Amino acid sequence: MALRTISTCTTETAKGIHRFEIFSYSLMNVEADEDAIRSGVFNVGGFDWALLYYPDGIDDDSKGYIGVYLELISKNGEPWALVDVNLINQLQSGQPRQLFTKSDVPTPFRALCETETRSALCEIEVPSMEISSDFAKMLKDGVGADVTFKVGEDTFRAHRAVLAARSPVFHAQLCGPMKEKEITQMQEITIQDMQPSAFEAFLYFI
């Protein structure tokens, strides 16, 4: 019998804004492909992040432009993140922009990073491994029963596959050469010389 499990999944979203202010830009002598200038570490959604600032781009294709990238510092997971980075010129309009050439970068300026992280919380419920209780419930409910036993005035519905697997006598009677012809026709077996309560206890024991 396959193990039944139940699971639920919900998504939590956390948002944060970090401002990274750059001073003395013209004095910085960091070239492309070299180490970036890192902002202070900030936390969003339970994860630590930092901004990486490249004064002359990160590669040949971005040379001549400054680059600002988001870095995940935490090592305890891989969150989904939506990032919006804008550069703010405080000396002019103060409106955010996403593109600055190296020649028109003001001093100072700010990198404004809006980060939205999402994490999936999954709850899994695993039922008890007591297979016997599952069989007992199946016997009590009669779901899928395919054979009937007549004991005195009482009748009991059961599952021939379970009985055959658990009892050599039932296996021979239900599946082997001893299989009674009337079983396939009436699906009923009469049990002699046994009380109904004793036979019921016997079925649950099996």
With contact defined as beta carbons under 8 Å apart, do 154 and 116 qualify?
A: no
pLDDT by position in tens, the chain (length 206): 445 666 666 667 788 888 887 776 555 555 544 567 888 898 888 889 888 888 777 777 777 777 788 888 988 877 778 888 777 765 554 444 445 555 555 455 566 677 777 655 556 555 555 677 777 888 888 888 888 888 888 888 888 888 888 888 787 777 766 555 555 544 678 888 888 888 888 888 87
Domain at 9-124: CATH architecture: Sandwich (2.60)
**CA distance linking residue 109 with residue 90, whole number of Å:** 6
Kind and range of the H or E element at 115?
A: strand 109-125
**CA distance linking residue 102 with residue 193, whole number of Å:** 100
Domain ranges of the chain: 9-124, 131-205
CATH 3.30.710.10 assigned to 131-205: yes
Same fold, 9-124 and 131-205: no
5 CB burial (10 A radius; 0-12, 13-18, 19+):
exposed
At 48, the amino acid letter reads D
Q: Note if the pTM is more than 0.75.
A: no
